Amino acid sequence: MDQIARRDFLAGATAAGMLAAAGPLGAQTVASPFLTSDIGTLKRVLVHSLSLDDVNHDRLSSSLLPGVDNDLPAGVQQHQALMGLLREAGTDIIEVKDALEAAIAATRPSGLFEAWLRASFPRLAADPAAVTADMLMGRAPAVRYRLGEDGAFRQAADDSNSTIWTRDSAVMTPRGLLICRAVSLRRRRENMLLRFLYHHSPMLARYPIAFDAVEEGINVEGGDMMIVDRDMMMLGVGNRTDPRIAPMLARRLNMDVLTVQTMARDFLPTDRPGSWGAIRELRVLLLHLDTYFTHVAPRHGLAVPYLLEQAHAQDNPFARFLKGARADTLLDEKDAEAALEMLKGFGKVTMFARGTGKRDSLGDLKLVDYLRQQRYRLTFVGGPRPSGEQAQFTQFMEISYPELRRQAANVVQATPGRVIAYAGNPATKAALEADGITVDTFGARELWAWHGGPHCLTQPLERS
């Protein structure tokens, strides 16, 4: 049964029948791919705009009190600035809320919506006819900070702030959509919500689903995926994406999969609060592939310097800092050793062949080494490297590292030759412009503090 026919069947069957019929989805060949790379003219994109109503608490929080550290009104304005740049580029924007409302309307008559609601959001299922997209996203007054019969707070629905990172929910590949499954339990619930609209919203019905990681039961996040061309993708692994998925994708999508190691792991355990341990800061800084590398033009990448080169596996600026800090500060020696070990293998690449999933370790190459072999042009976060170890270390610690933290490597292209980036990273902006890339910026102090950038905020559905 083809994908569109499958959607029609699900929309017309009974709720019980529909739930029983939801089997694994195989990869499909897309005659005219909606997207063949991560660059080019961005024609259609899925986004989730922040709202002043995004003030709800989250059931999976372990905090003593709700967090109020972010300036929500400023964040809303900053996100709208991104929307303005996308519209100026001629991009058709689909909002998650609109697609979700359409999915609800499409599935109410058959009973599928009520069945899904009872399984996924049971605390909202008492009156299914009254449930709206805003309620599911924790935005409606009826579900925000409500008191129960005993006069105590009762959690009815959770906030949807992290849904702004729509890239993590799914990625369009040349073979169709790849629906993601997060390692975080909080974001996995978010995946289930967006999975509902990917499967059932008429606004997204034209896009076939090639791989559903929820059905496969394996973790992958969209920020770790980058489409190089029709037959190849890059995939960050070990931090938020399970390395075991690489050969699966190579076989199911018939694409070469180049994995880029963040941490060396055989599998990815379920994320638990407080489980990131000694190297949490480093893991958050290098959260996804797109936090340290993105494409800005054909065979042209924007990358963090040093860390992605085998020649600097043990003498990169972070390693130099850690080796000194463990002796001269209160940094715990075991914490420092764990970070140094992570940095040794960080960026190591492995190729999994399309069709077979056969593994090629590619020797000791790291990502930048491999890209240089492929004759890529590379622009580095923080700009060109000065000569001399002291000057290089100073530049990295005072310029490259702070700009990396402000998501300087995390950019998205809306039109060829231009990228959208956060303001506040002047050295990286100047480096890109010197290499022929126009950079459109917008203020994003509240957004970068949440560890994501413009690449994370956009889920491209179609590119020319």
Q: Residue 62 domain-assigned?
A: no
Q: Residue 23 domain-assigned?
A: no
pLDDT in tens, 326-362: 999 999 999 999 999 999 999 999 999 999 999 999 9
* Most confident range, picked from 1-10, 25-34, 291-300: 291-300
Q: How many domains are contained in the chain?
A: 1
Q: How far apart are CA 142 and CA 402, in angstroms?
A: 41
pLDDT in tens, 379-401: 999 999 999 999 999 999 999 99
CA distances (Å), 149 to each of 97, 125, 153, 273, 464, in order?
30, 18, 9, 30, 55
User: Hey, is 7 helix, strand or coil?
Assistant: helix
57-66, 340-349, 417-426 — which is least confidently predicted? 57-66
CATH number, residue 222? 3.75.10.10
Q: How far apart are CA 71 and CA 436, in angstroms?
A: 35
Query: Quick one: pLDDT at residue 160?
Result: 83
Has residue 162 got a pLDDT over 90? no
Rg, C-alpha atoms of the chain: 22
Give the domain extent around 98: 3-18+28-57+71-463
Contact between 279 and 338 under an 8 Å Cβ cutoff? The reply is yes
For residues 64-93, average pLDDT: 93
Q: Beta-carbon neighbour count of residue 65 at 10 Å?
A: 7
314-320, Cβ contacts within 8 angstroms, sequence gap of 24 or more: 314/340, 314/343, 314/344, 316/343, 317/392, 317/393, 317/396, 317/397, 317/400, 317/401, 318/282, 318/343, 318/401, 319/343, 320/393
Q: Residue 64 domain-assigned?
A: no
Query: Quick one: pLDDT at residue 15?
Result: 35
For residues 93-121, average pLDDT: 96
Q: Residue 365 domain-assigned?
A: yes
Confidence of residue 68 (pLDDT cuts 50, 70, 90): confident
Q: Beta-carbon neighbour count of residue 118 at 10 Å?
A: 14
Contact between 73 and 52 under an 8 Å Cβ cutoff? The reply is yes
Q: Residue 65 domain-assigned?
A: no
Average pLDDT, whole number, for the chain?
90
Query: Quick one: pLDDT at residue 188?
Result: 83
Query: Quick one: pLDDT at residue 296?
Result: 98
383: region left, alpha or beta (phi > 0 left; psi from -120 to 50 alpha)? left
Q: Residue 63 domain-assigned?
A: no
Q: Residue 75 domain-assigned?
A: yes
Q: Residue 66 domain-assigned?
A: no
Q: Positive or negative CA dihedral for 184, 186, 187, 191? A: positive
